[in-house]
Structure formats: C-alpha cells, structure tokens
Amino acid sequence: MNYAGRVSLVVVFALVSLLGSFFLFYGGKYQPPSLPLPGEDAVKPHEFPVQPFTDTPQKRTGTLVVDMTHFNNFSDQEFNVLLSRISSRGFIIHLLGNVNEFMDSAQKKPQRENDLEVALRSADSYVVAIPWYAFSIRERELVRNFVDRGGKLLLIADASRSSAMNTLASDFGLIFEVDYLYNVVEHETNFQNFFVRNFKPSRLTEGLKTVVFYQSSSLSPESQGLILTDENTFSSAREMRGPFTPMVLTGNGRVLAITDLTFMTPPYNSVMDNDRLISNIADFLTTSERTFGLAEFPYFFRQDVDVVAANERLMEGAQSLRGILSGFGKDAEVKDEESFLKETVFVGLWQDAARVEHYLSLAGIRAGARIQTPFTSDIPAAGTAMLYLHQSQGRNVLVILGDTKEMVERAVAMLGTGDFRNGLVNDRLGFYRLERAAPATPGRTSAPPAR
Amino acid sequence: MSVHQDLRVKRSFWLPAGLILIGLLLGYLAFTFLIGMPRVAVFRIGYVELSGESATDINKMLDYLREDNSIRAVVIQLNSPGGGVNASADVFMNTIKLREKKPVVFFVKGMAASGGYMWLMGGNWVVANQVSVIGNVGAYMSIPPNITRPDDTVMPTGPFKLSGDPSRTYITLLEEIKDIFVQTVYSQRGDRLKLRPEELQEGRIYFGFEAARLGLVDEVGIEPDAIEKAASLAGLRFYKTIDANAELKKGGYTFPYTEYKPYSSEPPKAEFPYIHYRFWEPR
C-alpha cells in the first residue's frame, strides 16, 4: 500500500467514525411542534348591552326614609337613580342620619332609636341598604310595627360588601346568604354579572325580559323569590346548582329584599331591563298602603286641615294647634264650621261633645259626667281631656275634648310636644287626667294618663 | 515460507488495521471536539413570582439555553404561582422561542399556577409531581375608580385623559385577558385537554395526578422522567445531563431564584394596568 492509499484509509475510517459517533448519539432530528398562538380574532369584543328606557312616573304623595344611621356602606351616587325616580313620583325623601357618623355607642344608640321612631311616624316607605351596625331590638320592633301598619320596606345588600342586614331581615323570615352568585357560561363581561330571565308575575316584574345583576348574593328562602336564576348560575358558598333568587317579596307584599346595589348604579342601570326594574321598585315604594294612627299625629292628615273651634273661648287653643300643624308642614285654617270634605280637628269642651257625637258613637264613646268607652272603665269627665281620631273613607277627624279651656289648651300643647303618646289607650284614643288648678304647662302632663 | 515472506504477510495485516484504528480514533476525536456529546440542560427554579425583574433573569437563562448549541434539550423545573400578566406572557413567549430550536420539557415540582401555568404552555411536554399545584387559569385586577367630576386644579384635554378609560372598560379588558389565557391553553394543549372552556376558566387548582387526568399536564413523574422525555424529543440516544444554573455560575452569572420561598408577603409587582396572573396560596 502506498502512502496515498494509507492516508485515504485513515481519512475514510475517520469519517466513518465521525458519522458513526454522530448517529450513535443523535438518533434523530428535533421537529418543533406546530402550535400556532391564538390570533387577534380569538378575543370576542364585549358589547355593553345598554337599552334605552323612558320612565313615566305617576304623581303621588308620601315620604320615603333612607336609613343612614347604621354606618351604611354606600355612597350617595349609588342611590341617585332610584332616589330620582322616587322624587319624580312626588315623594319626599328623608335621608335619616349621616353615613359617616358613629352611632353604635351606648350613648348614641338611644338617639338612633329615637330618630328612627320619629322618622317612621311620617314615612310611607323605608329603605335600608348595607347596614354595618346591627339593628337593636327596639329598632327591629319599630320596623316590624311600621310594616304591620302598611309601610313598605326595601332591604338592599351587596355581595361585595359586609353588612348586618340579617339582624333586620330575619324578622321577616329572610336570610341574606354570605355568598355570591356566578355564571361562567353566560355573563355580562364578568362571571359575577349574571343574566336573569325567570320572573314570577308581580307588579315589580312587569315588563321585564332580561335583568343583569352585578355581584349579587342569594336570598333564602328561594320559594319567595320574584326572580330566579337559570341552571348555569351557581352559589359560591353552597356549591350547588340553582335556581337561586337575588330578589324576594315577603311580609304581605310589603318587604322587598334585593342582594345587589350595583344594578341600580350608573352605568349599570342602563343595561337590559335594569332601568325598568328600578322604576318598578320606585312604583312599589311610592304606592302607599301605610295606615297612620293617633300616635303618628299629624301625619295621618294627607291634605290641608280645618281646625274647628267649638266656641270663641277655644279660639286660642285652635290657633295654637294651627301653629303646631304648620310646624309639621301641614297647612291649616281655623274655622267655626266643619266641612265634611276636609281633614278636620275639632276642639271643644265636654259639653260640645254633641257636635261630634256621630264620630264618637261609631267608636262606642259616650260623653257625660262620666265618659264610657268599650276600651276603658268609666272615666270622670271632670279633670279629663280626650283625643280621639276618626278615620273613614280617607278622611281623618281628630276630636279634642276637655273639661275646661285650659285643659283643651294643655291637650293641644301635648300634641306639639308628643307627650300625648303617653296617654294613648289604643290607636285612635287617648285620655289625660289633668288637675284643674294647675297652670297650663305646655309639654308636661301633671298627672299620670288615665288607662 | 521465508522469513521475508512471513514479515510481508504480517505487515500487510497490521498496517491497514492500525491505519483503520487511527482513522476511527481521529473520527471520534473530531466528533468530540467539533460536534461534542449532546447535553440536556436542567434549569431549576426554586420559587419565583413573575415580575418584570424576575422575568428579565429568566429570559437571560432562556437565551443562554437557546444559544448554546451543545444543549440539545431543556428541562425546566418550575415552581411559580405566576405574577403580572406582562411578565407571565414575556417568559411564555421566550420559552416558545426556545421550543422552536430545541425541545423544552417542564417538570413541575411545587406549583405552576396562573401565570406559572401559562409559562408551561411554552413547552413541548409537562411532567408534574403527583401533588404539585396546577391550573388557576384566570386573572384579577384592582379596578381604578371612575373620574366623574371635574377638578379645578387639573385640566385634562379629553374625558378619559386622566383615567385612560371608564372603569367598566377595565373590567372588559380583564375579561379579554382571561379569554386570551383560555385560548392560549387550548391552542397549546389542543386535544390533550379534557376540560371545557367554562370549566377551565373557573380558575380551579388541581393536584398533579388530577391535572394529568384532565390533560392540563402530560404525565405524573419525577425529574429523570422529564430528562428522559426531553432527550427523546431531541432524538438523543446518549447524552450528558447538566445543571444549567451551575453552568452559568461558572461564567459568573448566578440565577437568583433557586430558594424555595412560598407565601410571599410582598405586594405583587405587576406593571400597569396591574393585572395579575397570580395564584394566592391559602395560608
């Protein structure tokens, strides 16, 4: 073998070795996978389903009280839409308290309770939203009585904010669950914003096709739900399929509970039929079923009042009463004759009782030397004043009778101070034992009320 | 046979044999020095929350792994709860760039949740410890407040100059970011995934064995399984396994996220619009 042959042999086997080594270690070639990334069309544009709505309010009269004494966790603007609808229906809106004021101390709680009692006397409807403080036993009693007397109550919570709502809601058989509802199959932008299309027939659900709730929790019991969720809506806490309800009507149709505030807040109020639902809620709150008794003086008067003095001597008392009514925002005129079409206060002595006998007899009250009623034992007329409220066919007549001019004036003064409530026998009748000799001291009863 | 004849016969056998041996030896030496033994690099990450800072360090490692031609396959041992959307998308895209050149196999030792799970999508194959935490697909953000009132002291030139958009738009943006995440998972996992989109976007976490059953990862295993898979995808019969962190340390760079540090109390480091692909571990 010559030299060239020898070199060729080395080179050939070197190449064989190189290739052999390569194929020994590298068995194949890497092929990167073909996995294209999502294109620009992968993301669907999210439309904001705004729907035009025109509110057509009907004028009514009444007062709506909004609770702000429980450190309620909402801002003014969140209620603007609902309150403007209430206002456009002619209702007066009374914001009770200041949301930022600490009212839960032992010192402040009685004031809070008193403020509520006073506010509810004139109220046709009452709104409680996201209260942070618990409702006291006294407050719960006041609200229960308010609803029993036809007052409308709206309870609003929100899944994203803690509240002590159940301290009040449980009195009406309701529980605001600590959860949130969600739908991952169909939702408005976020899974917590779910559509509802299942409505039970009611004035509140009239005209609704689709409503969107935003971060809403569930209410129990579902059986009283006005709105029910679909089969794809779940509860975060209950780990079960619905239907759940975010809106319940209970308490003889007077207590409405909703678990979402956002749906009535701009811009979400404009989505789908949300605006229509807000208007329906405004109609519910301004359609008053409220009944007012003597204790609610003078709010049972819904129109201008005639103050009829039985004689000239009582004109001073009648004028004084006119001033009191005016202080409560009620227009009044002093007359000497009764108009049977108008709201009336009759101011007289026991001897004038015959002029109002047609009212007294309907309640079984007989005035003489002794006053006989079905509700009390006989009471001597001497030293006694009486308040009696007659209500018939939407007309209210308040009868004030007393032993003397001074006694009538003192009874009138008690109406101004509210002390008359201490002597109420029932919703319509009150008696006051007043010493003849004592000078008239407005605001003070000098003797315990007769019962 | 004469002595000369005998010597000639012996030379005619040994000389070519020697030359062949020399050739083979030279060939092997040429292979070793010119091509080299294939290497599978293991890049171990102790625990990392994905932020602009950590993504920069991770991308530095990914660049090194991509550019070193002796590294034929990469195993990334991952433990991450995710982090900012930008950082998560950044490391995910850089891993795809690496995958185009060499196979990338993830080994989930502790957690690959949210943005950490998105990062997994950049690999060819995922091996997970049987009790590792996988999934949590989705995002969250703090919604900026609406600016609804004019300000006497600051005068903008347009209604959204100060806020960028009404806060509602940010919620839409968040939903779109979630959609992108879900679509990314579907595009990368394809038929392997056995979850419906509405199930995937619930944001649940799954332990490794459940994640493998549902196709969120490919198999339950340990690190050697991941190395073997990486080598197999690269078509390697024989290979050397190297520690990428140690290799780079020799060059003077120390990858900072090698410690296991769960339960970060630090606020998340996401850039505007402060959207997070982040799983918050229950304490």
ipTM of predicted complex: 0.78
Q: Is A74 within 8 Å of A132 (Cβ atoms)?
A: no
A237 reaches B (C-beta below 8 A): no
Whether B24 and A17 lie within 8 Å, measured CB to CB: yes
Residues of A in contact with B72 (CB under 8 A): 26, 30
* B133 is a domain residue: yes
Supply the pLDDT for residue B203. Answer: 93
**pLDDT exceeds cutoff 90 at B148:** no
Q: How many inter-chain contacts (A to B, CB under 8 Å) are there?
A: 128
Tell me whether residues B16 and A25 touch, CB distance under 8 A.
no
In this prediction, residues A135-157 reach a mean pLDDT of 96
The Cα–Cα gap between B145 and B168 comes to 10
Per-residue model confidence as pLDDT tens digits over A79-137:
999 999 999 999 999 999 887 777 777 778 899 999 999 999 999 999 999 999 999 99
CA distance B176 to chain A (A): 6
Inter-residue contact B39 to B72 (CB < 8 Å): yes
Q: In the prediction, which pLDDT does A448 show?
A: 43
Q: Residue B27 and residue A19: Cβ atoms within 8 Å?
A: yes
Burial label for A39, CB within 10 Å (0-12, 13-18, 19+), is: exposed
The alpha-carbon gap from A83 to the nearest alpha carbon of chain B, in Å, equals 19
Rounded to the nearest angstrom, the minimum Cα separation between A15 and chain B is 6
Q: CB-based contact (8 Å) between A30 and chain B?
A: yes
Tell me the C-alpha distance between A132 and A45, whole Å: 39
B192 near A CB under 8 A: no
B118 domain-assigned: yes
In a domain, B258, yes or no: yes
For every residue of A258-301, DSSP letters joined together read: ES-SGGGSTTGGGBTTHHHHHHHHHHHHHS------GGGTTTT-
Tell which B residues from 116 to 175 touch A, by Cβ distance under 8 Å. 124, 148, 166, 168, 171-172, 174-175
* A46 to chain B: closest CA residue: B172
Question: Domains of chain A, with CATH numbers?
Answer: 62-286 (3.40.50.880), 294-433 (3.30.379.10)
Helix-helix angle A80-88:A274-286, to 10 degrees: 50
Q: Which residues of A106-140 are buried (b: 16+ CB within 10 A; e: fewer)?
A: eeebeebbebbbebbbbbbbbbbbbbebbbbeebe
**Closest partner CB to B237 (pick from A10, A16, A27):** A27
pLDDT of residue A8: 86
**B15: in domain:** no
Average pLDDT, chain A: 90
Report the residue of chain A nearest B18, measured CA to CA.
Answer: A10
Does residue A252 sit at the B interface (CB-CB below 8 Å)?
A: no
Residue B49, pLDDT > 80, answer yes
- The answer to whether A34 contacts chain B (CB < 8 Å) is no
Bridge pairing between strands B275-278 and B140-141: antiparallel
Domain count, chain B: 1
Q: Output the CA–CA distances (angstroms, integers) from residue B69 to B37, B101, B277, in the order listed.
A: 11, 10, 33
Residue A220 region by backbone torsions, left for phi larger than 0, else alpha for psi between -120 and 50, else beta: beta
Residue B16 inside a domain? The answer is no
Look up residue B144 and give its DSSP letter. P
Of A103-107, B18-22, B89-93, where does the model show the most confidence? Answer: B89-93
Q: How many other CB atoms are found less than 10 A from the CB of residue A80? A: 14
Per-residue pLDDT reduced to its tens digit, A253-270 = 999 999 999 999 999 999
Whether residues B175 and A38 touch (CB distance < 8 A) is answered with no
H or E element, residue A69: none
Across the interface, do A42 and B183 touch by the CB < 8 Å criterion? yes
State how far Cα B235 lies from the chain centre.
Answer: 20
Tell me the torsion sign for CA atoms A357, A359, A361, A367: negative
Q: Distance from A339 to chain B by nearest Cα, in Å?
A: 54
> Could you tell me the residue range of the domain that residue B252 belongs to?
39-143+156-278
Exposed, middle or buried, B29 (CB in 10 Å: 0-12/13-18/19+)?
middle
Cα–Cα distance for residue pair A253/B85, rounded to 1 Å: 49
User: What would the mean pLDDT of A162-191 be, rounded to a whole number?
Assistant: 94
- Is there a contact between A77 and B175 if contact means CB atoms under 8 Å apart? no
pTM of model > 0.95 = no
Q: Which of B89, B91, B107 is nearest to B183 (CA)?
A: B89
- Answer whether residue B9 is part of any domain: no
Instruction: For residue B244, give how far its alpha carbon lies from the nearest alpha carbon of chain A (Å).
Output: 20
Please classify residue B161 by burial: count the beta carbons closer than 10 Å to its beta carbon, then call 0-12 exposed, 13-18 middle and 19+ buried: exposed
Helix (H) or strand (E) holding A161: none
Say whether the peptide bond before residue B145 is cis (omega within 30 degrees of 0): no
Q: Is residue A442 pLDDT above 50, yes or no?
A: no
Side-chain-side CA neighbours of residue A278 (13 Å): 31
The pLDDT tens digits for B227-272 are 999 999 999 988 999 999 888 888 777 777 776 555 555 555 555 6
Q: What's B246's domain CATH number?
A: 3.90.226.10
For residue B262, the model assigns a pLDDT of: 52
Q: What is the mean predicted confidence (pLDDT) over A362-366?
A: 92
The reply to whether residue B234 touches residue A30, judged by beta carbons under 8 angstroms, is: yes
Owner of token pair 């003889």 = A252
CA–CA gap between residue B215 and residue B81 (Å, rounded): 19
**Nearest residue on chain A to B238, alpha-carbon basis:** A25
